[in-house]
Structure 1
Amino acid sequence: MPQVFEFKLPDLGEGLTEAEIVRWLVEVGDVVAIDQPVVEVETAKAMVEVPCPYGGVVTARFGEEGTELPVGAPLLTVAVGSEGALGSVGPADAGAGSGSGSGSGTGAGAGPVVSAVGSGTVSGGAGSGSGEAEASGNVLVGYGTGAPVARRRRVRPEAMAATVAAHVTAAAAVSAAVPDAVQGPVAVVSPLVRKLARQHDLDLRQLAGSGPDGLILRADVESAIRAITEGAAAPTPASAAVSVPESVSEPTSLPPVQPSVPRMQPSVAQPAAGPAVERIPLRGVRGAVADKLARSRREIPDATCWVDADATELMAARSAMNSAGGPAAGPKVSVLALLARICTAALARFPELNSTVDLEAREIVRLPEVHLGFAAQTERGLVVPVVRDAQVRNAESIGAEIARLTEAARTGRLTPAELTGGTFTLNNYGVFGVDGSTPIINHPEAAMLGVGRIVPKPWVHEGALAVRQVVQLSLTFDHRVCDGGTAGGFLRYVADCVEQPAVLLRTL
């Protein structure tokens, strides 16, 4: 007899507690293999394809596209057959993973329902026998099987679907043969369908299922609920609300009936309907950014200082770097990469700004590595990819990593690990054509350097007025980790390196 396994949204790591369904990759009735991706979800960090640890027939999906689910909520149910009756559907071999989970439950219509998040060896509920369900060997942040999976034979999808349909038919036949007073199981696989029916006092035995062999689907229950709601909301005819007595004992005492003449009501012009209010849910990336910015403003006493710098020499140095060696020299070095390298040199001189504050211990924690984040605007919102160990990279290496992370951000393929763990952020808002800003610190970091656009401006150079390439630099810092003197020294060193790139050679 097949068992129905409930696959729940697993822990996606990095402290994430929820995810939004972006796209279902399977339909109800599809045959899935072990470790086959079944749904694409969006977390506050990245887009993730979630693989199913079971092989079998998909019997239910929970949540439409755009629905946000918490970790541990059901994603889908899969009917998995026993080795003798159905065999297993999946790859011939699967590698061993780590971690295991167990759960039990009882469902009706297609065998016992077994719930697990991810999961390895799972036993059936009481009264349904027990057996081992072969699950994924993959590990998606903490779930997968702990024991190696034995070789399994394949079965044709047609055979699996036919067996599950036969089991549903048998359950429906048993249900029909038992009197209503003692009837138990009905042709329902999904626990969500049962819960929805209970909430609206629906008798599932009175519904005709539209699924295979009479299987009652969620759409059937929702249709019945709509029918009941529309019937209850139907208006009562006016004639039925008037009560007329059949006989009157003293008709002479009644006043004469006056003919009713309808009153003419003056017409009142109705105001034209205005544009509808648009509500945009704060979830996914936008929700995470909103929470982090609000927390930063709430917890960090920030201050901002800024300075204008003559970037003419920096632009000339970049042109010389990119022209040296010709096409064989490799990818061109970007201005952002040069500014990032200047930041790592400045943080080596002013390590106070590469730190965080431990509120519980009331300590400033100075960090030895510089994990440099940079703000990137994408269709999904603002994200901050992180260049790991930037303190040991040169400008060319930093530039290559920025290019790789930017492309991953553009396509929505950044991993949670690539979006967390930053210690200092570089924000190039000059790409939006603005000169200055007072950026909000990327919590729990201690500082952020903002860079405006580089534009020709009149500038006093060597005692004479000249047109130079000028940029505004702003530093927002946590006033708990340092005073204004340290912040000013950091920003002045960055500006000196921009104006005279040779200053940076001293630290290379």
Structure 2
Amino acid sequence: MPQVLEFKLPDLGEGLTEAEIVRWLVEVGDVVAIDQPVVEVETAKAMVEVPCPYGGVVTARFGEEGKELPVGAPLLTVAVGSVEPEPSGSTGAAEAEPSGSGNVLVGYGTGAPPVRRRRVRPEGLSAPAVAPVASLAPVAPAVAVVPAVPAASDGVRGPVAVVSPLVRKLARQHDLDLRQLVGSGPDGLILRADVESAIRSGAETPQEAAATDQASAHPVGERVPLRGVRGAVADKLARSRREIPDATCWVDADATELMAARAAMNGAGGPGAGPKVSVLALLARICTAALARYPELNSTVDQEAREIVRLPGVHLGFAAQTERGLVVPVVRDAHARSTESIGAEITRLTEAARTGTLKPAELTGGTFTLNNYGVFGVDGSTPIINHPEAAMLGVGRIVPKPWVHEGELAVRRVVQLSLTFDHRVCDGGTAGGFLRYVADCVEQPAVLLRTL
């Protein structure tokens, strides 16, 4: 007799508490191998494939595509045991299951090659229909292991066929006798959908339901759920505004010499000299030099301990707009990198952001953020600090403008730089000194050479 094992949405790391089902990679009745990816989910930070730790036959899936589930909620159930072999000497699922363990998802699961899907019927189980679940609450992290319980043939039901403790809890909360239900799962397995259906059938009359709907009516209009990346950004920005007493200072800088220096760098060496140096990479390198002089801005505040924590290294985040929303990939140890190295890492992370393949670890741990909103054709902004960091440098577009240069009016390439900072970590003098140093390096790149 096969056992039905319940696989719950695992902790994806970095403090994430929920994920949205993007695409199921298996269907009910498919044979899966140990650590085979079974579903693609979108967290607040990245898109990841979730591997299943069991090998066997998928008996049920929980949650429709587009549905958000909390960590610990059931994803699917797998019947583990012998399966009927395929004709022509095909091997069974047990032979297809890898035995190793590697790194697929934040140290969870393995990188085993995908196996060919086939649908079989395990002993004593019939292939059920997909059981979508409208919403699921977090459940205990322990994995439920129960044998499939068939209903007695004499009309008297035996032990209640319930796999999920969540289903039992939901029934208890509504004084529902599970022994009176006939489950829609394999061999009468009672699913959450069965319990919810029973609850709805006896909850209220149509008149009561209409009155409730009328009482809770909301304004008419398009509603866009705040979830996934957009929801995470909304939460972080709101928290930043609540907790951080921020202030902003700005300055216009003549970037003509910086652009000339970049052109010289990219023109040196001829063909095959390596990738072009971007303006963002130059500004990032200037930021690391400025943070070495003003370490107060590379810090965070421990509010409970009432302490400012100055951080030893610079992990530089940069804002990137994608189809999924605004993300902030992080260049690790930017303080120890050259301009060329920073540029290469920015290029790699930008491409990963565009394709939605950034890992959660590549979107967390930043200590300072660089925001180039000039790509949107605007001159200035007052950035919101990326909590729990202490500052963000904003960069507007670089455009020709009339400018007094060496005592004469000339057309120069001008950029507005703005610094939003946490007033708890420093006063205006420090923030102004940081911004002025950045502007000096933009106007006279040779200034930066003194600190290299």
Q: TM-score, normalised by structure 1?
A: 0.73
Give runs of aligned pairs for residues 11-22 of structure 1, distance below 5 A: 11-22=11-22
Alignment coverage as a number of residue pairs = 414
Classify 1:213/1:320 alpha carbon distance in 2 versus 1 (closer, same or farther; 3 Å). same
Match of 1:297 among 221, 241, 246: 241
Classify 1:401/1:447 alpha carbon distance in 2 versus 1 (closer, same or farther; 3 Å). same
Percent of residue pairs bearing the same amino acid type: 83
SS at match of 1:89: helix
Determine the C-alpha separation between the residues in 2 that align with 1:369 and 1:324.
31
Q: Report whether the alignment pairs 1:175 with 2:151.
A: yes
1:91 is displaced (CA, Å) by 3.9
- After superposition, the C-alpha distances for 1:197-242 in whole angstroms (9 at most, x for unaligned) are 8869698878696x7888887778888888x5899649xxxxxxxx
Which residue does 1:73 correspond to in 2?
73
1:327 is displaced (CA, Å) by 2.0
- After superposition, the C-alpha distances for 1:83-109 in whole angstroms (9 at most, x for unaligned) are 99997536454225xxxxxxxxxxxxx
Determine the C-alpha separation between the residues in 2 that align with 1:138 and 1:178.
50
Which residue does 2:10 correspond to in 1?
10
CA contact (8 A) 1:81 1:88 kept: no
Give runs of aligned pairs for residues 53-452 of structure 1, distance below 5 A: 53-81=53-81, 89=94, 91-96=96-101, 140-141=105-106, 160-165=120-125, 175=151, 177-179=153-155, 182-184=156-158, 233=206, 276-452=220-396
Mark the runs of 5 or more structure 1 residues left unpaired by the alignment.
Answer: 97-136, 146-153, 235-274
Q: Report whether the alignment pairs 1:43 with 2:43.
A: yes
Which residue does 1:103 correspond to in 2?
none
Which residue does 1:482 correspond to in 2?
426
Q: CA RMSD in A?
A: 3.6
Determine the C-alpha separation between the residues in 2 that align with 1:401 and 1:60.
42
SS at match of 1:41: strand
CA contact (8 A) 1:375 1:425 kept: yes
Structure 1 stretch displaced more, 383-392 or 82-91 = 82-91
1:456 is displaced (CA, Å) by 0.8
1:31 is displaced (CA, Å) by 1.1
Classify 1:175/1:363 alpha carbon distance in 2 versus 1 (closer, same or farther; 3 Å). closer
Classify 1:476/1:221 alpha carbon distance in 2 versus 1 (closer, same or farther; 3 Å). closer
Which residue does 2:136 correspond to in 1?
none
1:369 is displaced (CA, Å) by 0.8
SS at match of 1:26: coil
The structure with higher relative contact order (CA 8 Å, sep 6+) is 2
1:163 is displaced (CA, Å) by 2.1
SS at match of 2:341: helix
Which residue does 1:269 correspond to in 2?
none
SS at match of 1:76: strand
- After superposition, the C-alpha distances for 1:234-260 in whole angstroms (9 at most, x for unaligned) are 9xxxxxxxxxxxxxxxxxxxxxxxxxx
SS at match of 1:339: helix
SS at match of 1:163: coil
Match of 1:494 among 431, 438, 441: 438
Is the radius of gyration larger for structure 1 or structure 2?
1
CA contact (8 A) 1:60 1:190 kept: no
1:506 is displaced (CA, Å) by 1.0
SS at match of 1:494: helix
Classify 1:302/1:161 alpha carbon distance in 2 versus 1 (closer, same or farther; 3 Å). same
Determine the C-alpha separation between the residues in 1 that align with 2:276 and 2:178.
69
SS at match of 1:165: coil
Mark the runs of 5 or more structure 2 residues left unpaired by the alignment.
Answer: 86-90, 129-146, 208-218
Which residue does 1:125 correspond to in 2?
none
1:390 is displaced (CA, Å) by 0.7
Determine the C-alpha separation between the residues in 1 that align with 2:356 and 2:126.
42
SS at match of 2:45: coil
Q: TM-score, normalised by structure 2?
A: 0.81
Determine the C-alpha separation between the residues in 1 that align with 2:206 and 2:62.
29
Determine the C-alpha separation between the residues in 2 that align with 1:429 and 1:188.
54
